[in-house]
Structure 1
Amino acid sequence: MQNTAVEAAPEVSSNDRPAWRTHLTLVLLALIYVFSFIDRNVIAIVLEPIKQEFGASDTMMGLISGLAFAILYGGLSLPLGRLADQGADRRNMIAICCSLWSLATMACGMVGQFWQLFIARMSVAVGEAGGMAPSVSMVSDLYPKERRSLAISVLMMGPHIGVLAAMVLGGWIAQEFGWRYVFIIFGAPGIVLALALRLIARDPGRGGVNNPQSQAAALNNEESAQKTPFIEQLKAICRIPGFLPISLGAAAAGMAGYSFGIWTPTFMVRNWDMSLAQAGLIFGLSSGVLAVIGSTFSGWYCDRLTKKDARWQVRLPLIGLLISLPFALAFLLWPAEKSFSFGGYLLPQAIIFAAVFSFFNSWWPTLTYAAISHVTTDRQRATGAAVLNLLITLFGAGLGPLTTGILSDQLSGTFGDDGLKYALACTTLVLFTLSVVFYKLALTPYKQRMADLQSQ
């Protein structure tokens, strides 16, 4: 099938800077990702009332908050990423998938039994499986390589703004109107965003900002790319130097990060004697704002550093993880009774550690997706992002909250309400350490891959 999308390159102004439609498309994709992350993770703020209504254990809540989503997500993200690489209109894919996951999120607020909530959560994954990988691929074709980390950092602000909105607004909505309204209210805006993307944006085509020779090559290779067996394409991507250690490093970090994000509001309710609204407000503001700043800063700074040494694309995530680990442990283990006054309110001292943790922990997602976009070709990018997303979601969203929930149930027999605290501390320490090891292993092969691509 002839791919005409390549011909519809993004508008470029006379000074070779992306034009208004390019930036507006990036903003729409970023907003869609914000609500994608809200819809995926808003369950964190309402775990406790859902548990009480349905009489579930921490293990069951870990299952429904993670693995129920990850199973279908993992099964669909790779073939949908493959479809995006084969020439499907990525704008249309994202708009359709956004509509689907938004409707499924609203359905979560209308269930009457636990098994119905389980199915609704899995349905959210059906839509979201086709959102992230095409978005990364599309942004990579909207902006040139030297600006790509910053552009992807704007896209990757989605999780952090999503946490901020889900925690601050979600906690208040749950307390004032009940947990069901949280899903209904947060699901609705996705329908509007999907329509706006469909009407305003356009797919820039593969290799859209590359030189004319690269665009012609992308067009001429379309038919052969479509004939390449899916398994062969996956093998080729996994053989790319640096791809697997980077992806495994992100999977380990994601497993700890999802667990931390999902269970922290519940930890604050149990251990700090807070209401849902208080936990959401304090954790959302302290973590969300600093994470947005950290994500943007890391993309901007990385674009500057990689001009001198490509390995900074992998070094910065590694450094961010090393710095954030002790602050995560301090947040969990700091005495709850120690507090300080701010604006007339008494706040736990530990929240300062959460803010610093969020700033540095926001580096690895942004820079890892950018790194994968660098080492893959135009015809591999969406599938490569889908593989990365699959690992992060399957291990992170799928196994992270579940593992912590199981460990919390086991430790609660000895430590009571502190069981969740120690479960979070253990998983964060072990998984962040493992992630650092994988990123370290990726440094040399990543540099070699970038040198090979430069010489072609």
Structure 2
Amino acid sequence: MPTPQHPPAVTWRTHLSLALLATVYIFSYIDRQVVSILIEPIKAEFNATDTQIGMLTGLAFGLLYAALGIPVGRMADKHNRRTIVAICCGIWSLATIGCGMATHYWQLFIARMSVAVGEAGGMAPSISMIADMYPPKRRSLAISFFMMGPNLGVLLGLSIGGLIAQAYGWRAAFLAFGIPGILLSLIVYLFVKEPVRGAFETAAAQPGAASSAPQESLLRQSQRLLTMKPLRNVAIACGIAAITGYGYGVWAPAFFMRVHGMSIAHAGLAFGLASGVGAVVGAVFCGWLSDRLCQRDSRWQLGLPALGALISLPAGIAVFQWPTNAFWTLGSMQIPHAMLFVLIFAFFASWWPTLSYSAVSQMVSPSERGVGAALLNLFVTLLGVGLGPMVTGALSDYFAGTHGADGLRWALTSVVSLMVFTVLFFILALGPYRRRLGEMKLAAA
């Protein structure tokens, strides 16, 4: 068995495991986000309000995901993480198929909650595994490849989901993505190898927490980790950014359909490609850049997401405020100029999740990475998934009273503006993060 004195080599099997874990994450986001391109036909069939749709796309998913994420993270710190990921992938894939079989609003609501039950076990175990598969100097780039999952999920879910929905109906889109996920869960179980915990860290680099964590209750362990100022500030920054991200991601396709008059397939393809391509390139770029800049100053690990959030703010506002009569013509298709800002927003907004999860994996011991990632995911899920779409929908209903058809435009502009607080909390975390890494190095000396 590899030891901290003789760390394992990074081989093709390591990269294969990373690719499979990333594929699972892609499917989790396809299953999670495909509903956003299906909002209009679902709303029409069930005669739902924007607030009800916000509950369906956010609250139904977010509450259970948040409640189960930390216990599953704790489980991942004690048991085989590969098996947890494989089982959970199968569960959420079955639940996605259930979404496609719903005939009433509340059936779909319950099915969406069931998707959350499975997906709660995907993120934290995977982040914990990847951190043990690669050495610290390559960890941000490795996690950036994994974090392409949401971006590719948006691209595939919206573009392909929109085409399927237009041709065969919205239920077919759920079925088309749920069925392959069951096969993927079996592939992960058979081909992903469970890595040795802390294989790239020295024993001394796990100060006390490695031995004490198993004796702690989950509540006490979570409280102790949240007393760490850098982790707490990063979690708050990500939670606020997630309100913007999920509100934007769920409702922007509906905005282009309502305000720009795009069809479901047209909106899904254009928005999915612009968002997906921009975010995939941005996620890989920021991981590569972080690994290099952090060798000079560790604060770049959080300085880059602060910078990305700052640049994405005006780009996000421009998406919804750019004139609707400004567009390019591609054959018979009209592409709004606002799609350029979708691309820019996606590129820079992809920096905060990629680098934040990597930062948490650096500031906790290897035996607590599952819980650490789950805590960060709790803020992202509870605030972003739980509140983002619902708040945006409620604001849309509110602004509709004063701005009519432009209600969704002003709701999304308001939600995007919250990114200014994300920048603030990332800045507040810079100094404490560097001090935390210094403490861990001293403990390892």
TM-score range, shorter chain: over 0.9
Residue 182 of structure 2 is aligned to residue 191 of structure 1: yes
Amino acid at match of 2:51: T
Residue 205 of structure 2 is aligned to residue 205 of structure 1: no
Structure 2 matches for 1:310-329, cutoff 5 A?
310-329=298-317
Which residue of structure 1 aligns with residue 152 of structure 2? Answer: 161
Q: In the aligned structure 1, how far is the partner of 2:162 from the partner of 2:217?
A: 47
Residue from 88, 96, 109 that aligns with 2:87 = 96
Which residue of structure 1 aligns with residue 136 of structure 2? Answer: 145
Residue 27 of structure 2 is aligned to residue 35 of structure 1: yes
Residue 63 of structure 2 is aligned to residue 71 of structure 1: yes
Find the residue that maps to 1:416 and give its secondary structure: helix
Which residue of structure 2 aligns with residue 452 of structure 1? Answer: 439
Alpha carbons of 1:449 and 1:214: their partners in 2 closer, same or farther (altered >3 Å)? closer
Amino acid at match of 1:374: Q
Counterpart contact for 2:210–2:368, Cα < 8 Å? no
Q: In the aligned structure 2, how far is the partner of 1:358 from the partner of 1:221?
A: 37
1:223 deviates by 6.6
Q: For each residue in 1:3-51, what CA deviation from the matched residue of structure 2 results, as whole angstroms up to 9, or x when unmatched? A: xxxx4779x99xx750111110000000000000111111000011000
Counterpart contact for 2:209–2:365, Cα < 8 Å? no
Moved more, 116-125 or 407-416: 407-416
Which residue of structure 2 aligns with residue 4 of structure 1? Answer: none
Q: Tell me the percent identity.
A: 48
Find the residue that maps to 2:171 and give its secondary structure: helix
Residue 370 of structure 2 is aligned to residue 382 of structure 1: yes
Which residue of structure 2 aligns with residue 126 of structure 1? Answer: 117
Amino acid at match of 2:404: G
Q: In the aligned structure 1, how far is the partner of 2:24 from the partner of 2:161?
A: 18
Moved more, 349-358 or 148-157: 349-358
Counterpart contact for 1:164–1:288, Cα < 8 Å? yes
Which residue of structure 2 aligns with residue 58 of structure 1? Answer: 50
Counterpart contact for 1:294–1:363, Cα < 8 Å? yes
Counterpart contact for 2:128–2:369, Cα < 8 Å? yes
Structure 2 matches for 1:400-411, cutoff 5 A?
400-411=388-399
Q: In the aligned structure 2, how far is the partner of 1:336 from the partner of 1:237?
A: 47
Residue 122 of structure 2 is aligned to residue 114 of structure 1: no
1:287 deviates by 1.3
Q: For each residue in 1:344-395, what CA deviation from the matched residue of structure 2 results, as whole angstroms up to 9, or x when unmatched? A: 7432111111111111111111000001111111111110100111110110
Counterpart contact for 2:30–2:157, Cα < 8 Å? yes
1:413 deviates by 1.5
Residue 225 of structure 2 is aligned to residue 234 of structure 1: no
Amino acid at match of 1:394: L
Alpha carbons of 1:224 and 1:313: their partners in 2 closer, same or farther (altered >3 Å)? closer
Alpha carbons of 1:301 and 1:400: their partners in 2 closer, same or farther (altered >3 Å)? same
Which residue of structure 1 aligns with residue 13 of structure 2? Answer: 21
Which residue of structure 2 aligns with residue 83 of structure 1? Answer: 75
Q: In the aligned structure 1, how far is the partner of 2:11 from the partner of 2:387?
A: 42
Q: In the aligned structure 2, how far is the partner of 1:362 from the partner of 1:321?
A: 9
Q: In the aligned structure 2, how far is the partner of 1:167 from the partner of 1:112?
A: 22
Q: In the aligned structure 2, how far is the partner of 1:371 from the partner of 1:99?
A: 29
Counterpart contact for 1:9–1:204, Cα < 8 Å? no
Q: For each residue in 1:158-214, what CA deviation from the matched residue of structure 2 results, as whole angstroms up to 9, or x when unmatched? A: 000000001110000000000001111111121111111111111112102334x46
Counterpart contact for 1:91–1:201, Cα < 8 Å? yes
CA RMSD of aligned residues (A): 1.8
Q: In the aligned structure 2, how far is the partner of 1:321 from the partner of 1:170?
A: 28
Q: In the aligned structure 2, how far is the partner of 1:206 from the partner of 1:237?
A: 19
1:226 deviates by 2.2
Counterpart contact for 2:154–2:272, Cα < 8 Å? yes
Q: In the aligned structure 1, how far is the partner of 2:181 from the partner of 2:32?
A: 12
Q: TM-score, normalised by structure 2?
A: 0.96
Amino acid at match of 2:61: F
Q: In the aligned structure 1, how far is the partner of 2:52 from the partner of 2:2?
A: 48
Which residue of structure 2 aligns with residue 279 of structure 1? Answer: 267
Residue 305 of structure 2 is aligned to residue 305 of structure 1: no
- How many matched pairs? 442
Alpha carbons of 1:236 and 1:173: their partners in 2 closer, same or farther (altered >3 Å)? same
Which residue of structure 1 aligns with residue 425 of structure 2? Answer: 438
Find the residue that maps to 1:254 and give its secondary structure: helix
1:239 deviates by 1.7
Runs of 5+ in structure 1 lacking a partner?
A: 1-6
Alpha carbons of 1:27 and 1:346: their partners in 2 closer, same or farther (altered >3 Å)? same
Q: In the aligned structure 2, how far is the partner of 1:185 from the partner of 1:20?
A: 31
Residue from 329, 332, 338 that aligns with 2:326 = 338
Q: In the aligned structure 2, how far is the partner of 1:253 from the partner of 1:224?
A: 33
